[in-house]
């Protein structure tokens, strides 16, 4: 049997039970806690025949290295998404003439930022979040917790060669827009209504050279204050929702 992973936090566990209850082997909850949010989780566990164990806080703290909010799900690993899944997405979108929206993370290594990016991408209706296998944050318990359940709803695709995958996307009609503070064009001057991949670089370093050279456009966010850049997850949210705004406007 595959090694179980811990998924913790009210939002994350509730989402997991709603989307993939078959993955949950056991639920561990804080003893004597009985508020409405936990009761909803317990009800889902009962509906799916999942055993529940009540533990003292000290025992839960040992299982979850973070703010578990009184609930931890022991679950089998989620599905892994690779280039083949991306190829399927692109082929389906091409056949159905669908303009997909992608978020691409180039060298984002902080799981907190990954979780926040997944949450924003899922909320914006993105088809997937894409990142290179190396030098990227893994979809660990921290990222899942911060994503508030989005990690179970949106594919996180890891690819061997990011620039090659971006070129494959371009061949399928996807325009690649990279975020760069030194870019001449503002994000708000670009047409984001078609098939778009928004590429965010690592904080401090920005986009890698090959990634930058592969982009069709580079775009910046106007910065009116003294701070020269935004946290990558905040910037990703701004880019994603500018695309959402334009798409809603054209419907």
**The CATH number of the domain covering residues in 83-249:** 3.40.1280.10
Task: Give 220's Cβ-side CA count (13 Å radius).
Answer: 11
CATH topology (fold) of 5-75: 60s Ribosomal Protein L30; Chain: A; (3.30.1330)
Residues that constitute the known binding site: 201, 221, 230
Give Cβ neighbours of residue 44 (< 8 Å, ≥ 6 apart): 14, 17, 18, 21
Residues that constitute the known binding site for S-adenosyl-L-methionine: 201, 221, 230
Average pLDDT over residues 71-98: 90
Is pLDDT at 162 greater than 80 in this prediction? Answer: yes
* Measured distance CA(110)–CA(118) in Å, rounded: 12
Three-state secondary-structure class, residue 119: helix
Three-state secondary-structure class, residue 6: strand
Q: Give the tens place of pLDDT for each residue, 234-248.
A: 999 999 999 999 998
Q: What is the pLDDT of residue 90?
A: 94
Q: What is the pLDDT of residue 222?
A: 84
CB count, 10 Å around CB of 82? 12
CB count, 10 Å around CB of 184? 10
Do residues 104 and 131 make contact, with C-beta atoms less than 8 angstroms apart? yes
Given pLDDT bands bounded at 50, 70 and 90, which one contains residue 44?
Answer: very high
Give percent of the chain above pLDDT 90: 62
Q: Do domains 5-75 and 83-249 have the same CATH topology?
A: no
Q: What is the pLDDT of residue 43?
A: 94
């Amino acid at each position: 049997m595959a090694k179980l992973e811990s998924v913790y936090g009210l939002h994350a566990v509730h989402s997991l039970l709603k989307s993939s209850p078959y993955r949950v082997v056991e639920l561990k909850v804080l003893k004597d806690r009985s508020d409405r949010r936990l009761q909803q989780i317990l009800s889902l566990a009962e509906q799916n025949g999942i055993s529940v164990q009540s533990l003292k806080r000290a025992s839960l703290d040992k299982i979850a290295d973070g703010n578990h909010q009184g609930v931890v799900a022991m679950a089998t690993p989620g599905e892994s998404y690779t280039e083949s899944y991306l190829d399927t997405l692109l082929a389906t979108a091409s056949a159905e003439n669908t303009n997909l929206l992608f978020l691409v993370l180039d060298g984002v290594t902080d799981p907190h930022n990954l979780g926040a990016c997944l949450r924003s991408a899922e909320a914006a209706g993105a088809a997937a979040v894409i990142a290179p296998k190396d030098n990227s944050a893994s979809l660990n318990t921290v990222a899942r917790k911060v994503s508030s359940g989005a990690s179970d709803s949106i594919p996180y695709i890891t690819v061997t060669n990011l620039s090659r995958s971006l070129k494959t996307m371009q061949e399928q009609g996807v325009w690649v827009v990279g975020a760069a503070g030194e870019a001449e064009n503002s994000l708000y001057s670009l047409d984001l209504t078609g098939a778009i991949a928004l590429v965010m670089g690592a904080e401090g370093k920005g986009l890698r050279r090959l990634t930058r050279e592969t982009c069709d456009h580079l775009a910046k966010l106007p910065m009116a204050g003294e701070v020269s850049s935004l946290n990558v997850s905040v910037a990703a949210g701004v880019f994603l929702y500018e695309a959402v705004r334009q798409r809603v406007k054209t419907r």
